Every structure is written in structure tokens, then in C-alpha cells.
Amino acid sequence: MGKIILRLDRVMADRKISLNELSERVGVTNVNLSKMKTGKISAIRFSTLEAICEALNCQPGDILEYDPTAVSTEPEVE
């Protein structure tokens, strides 16, 4: 099974926006955005994703990438 990779750091760098500025625009704490940047989350709310996309003027696919060859560290649910 593959893995979802977060590319928030890349999009933020392309848009030249800091973590603090994005946090203010989106209404999400710096800690939570930092976890998203480093891929240390297991879920994201659509409302948060929508706010990030609006603030960064991007599409969800710019932030999320699926790598079918990567190994997921999440346990499989049966």
C-alpha cells in the first residue's frame, strides 16, 4: 500500500509565505501547521484543506501527493 505525502512546505516556499502568516490566514495554530509541513499528521479536515488552498491560491493536489511505492506507517484497517 502506498502513502500520501504532504507538500505544504514546497507550496509555502513557492508562494514565499511563512508559517506564521499562513497560520493567521487559515486560523490554524503554528503547531498544527508545522505538523502538516513535516507530514506528522494522519488526517486533515476538508475545511482546513479548503482554507489552506484559498490562502495559498492552490489546488489540493498541489499539497497532497500519492506515492504508490512508499510504505505507509499507518496500520491497515480491516
Q: What is the 3-state secondary structure (H, E, C) of the chain?
A: CCEEEECHHHHHHHHCCCHHHHHHHHCCCHHHHHHHHHCCCCCCCHHHHHHHHHHHCCCHHHHEEEECCCCCCCCCCC
Q: What pLDDT score was predicted for residue 73? A: 61
Domain boundaries, the chain: 3-67
Q: Which pTM was predicted?
A: 0.83
Predicted pLDDT at 78: 45
Name every residue whose Cβ is closer than 8 Å to that of residue 62 and which is 6 or more positions away in sequence. Answer: 7, 11, 53, 56
Determine the topology of domain 3-67 in CATH.
434 Repressor (Amino-terminal Domain) (1.10.260)
* pLDDT confidence of residue 72: 65
Integer Cα distance of 25 and 74 in angstroms: 30
Per-residue model confidence as pLDDT tens digits over 35-67:
999 889 989 999 999 999 999 999 999 999 999
Q: Which residue has the higher pLDDT, 74 or 64?
A: 64
